[in-house]
Amino acid sequence: MKIIAGSSSPKLAENIALQLNAPLVDCDIDTFANGEKRIHISNTVKNQDVLIIQSFSKPVDDRIIETALIADALERLGAHEINLFIPWFGYSFQDKVFMPGEPLSAKVIAKIIESTCIKKVYLLDLHNISIPGFFSIPTYHITAMNEFITHIKEHFDLTKAMVISPDFGGLKRARLFANELHLELGGIEKRRDLITGQVTTTKLDGEVKGKNIFIFDDAILSGQTVVEVAKMLKEQGAKEIHFLATHGVFTGDALESLAKSMVDSVTVTNSIERTEQFKKITILDISKVLVENLQG
C-alpha cells in the first residue's frame, strides 16, 4: 500500500504512512491562473493499492474537487485499488432537508465521491451515523472515542467526576463515553435558533457540584455550545469542565470565545490540521485509529 496526502492533511498522512511502514506518494497540488486545480503525481503507483488522506475542511469545495482529481490521476497511472480516508466529512451537517428547496447535500457529496474510481471510504465520528448509507460503495464509520478515553484516564482525576451530554442528540454518544469511564451520566437541554444559530441552555439533569465534568461531542463549530454549557455548569457548582470533540472546526471567532470561556480545557483531534497553538486546546493524533481499522 502507498499513501497520498491531499492538501488538507499532510501531517496526518505522514503519521499514517509511518505506522503502516508505507511510502508516501509525491503529489503536486497547485492552482491554474483561472482558478482550476492542477494535480500531478510523479511516483509509480501501477498495480499498487493507494490510500488518499483528505479532510473536507475549509476551503471545502476545493478539497472535494481535489480529491476527485487525485483519484482520477491515480487510476490513469494504473493504481490497483484506490481508497479514501475522510477524517472530517464536510457537508455532514447538511444531512437532512429542513425546508423545501434545499438539497440533501451530504448525499450529493457522497455521490460525487463514488462517481470516481474510489473503491472504499473511511469516515470518522460522523454527526449522523446514517451518512454511510448515502454511499453505494463500501463505507466504514470509525470512532476516536478510545483515544479520548485513554487521554482522560492518563491526565485527569476521575474520583469525583461525571459525563454530561450537551444535548439530547448526543445522549447515546455520551452514554457510551460514560460507560467506558465508569462514570455517572447527566444531560443538558438546549435550544438552537435555526436562523441565528444562537444556543440557549434550558435545563440540567444531574448534580454537578464539586465535580470534574467531561463532555464528549462529535464536533466544535462556533463554540457557542461549549461556552454556554460551561457557564451553566460552573454556575451550578462544577469544579472543572473539560470538553472533548473529535473535530475542531472552529468557525468565526470560536477560538477566541473558548479562550475567554469558563471551560477549563478543550481536546480535539487532528482530523482538521492546524499549525497554530491555542490556549486551553490539546490535539490528539488519530492516525492510530485508522491504522487499527485498516489492519483489523
User: Is position 203 annotated as part of the catalytic site?
Assistant: no
The count of other CB atoms within 10 Å of the CB of residue 197 is 12
Q: SS3 breakdown of the chain: % helix, strand, coil, rounded to 5?
A: 30, 30, 40
Of the residues 2, 190, 211, 234, only one is catalytic, namely 190
- Distance CA(166)–CA(263), nearest Å, equals 13
How many Cα neighbours within 13 Å face the side chain of 246? 24
Beta strand segments in the chain, E: 2-5, 24-25, 27-31, 37-41, 49-53, 81-86, 118-124, 139-142, 161-165, 184-192, 199-205, 212-220, 240-248, 265-269, 281-284
Instruction: Name the grid cell of 5.
Output: 496526502
Helix (H, G, I), strand (E, B) or coil at 279: coil
* Cβ 88 vs Cβ 125: under 8 Å: no
Collapsing DSSP states into helix, strand and coil, what is residue 165?
strand
Minimal CA–CA distance to 244: which of 213, 266, 274, 261? 266
Residue whose cell numbers read 501531517: 11
On whether the CB atoms of residues 241 and 264 are closer than 8 A, the answer is: yes
All three cell numbers of 120: 472504499
- Rg of the Cα atoms in the chain: 20
Catalytic annotation, residues: 190
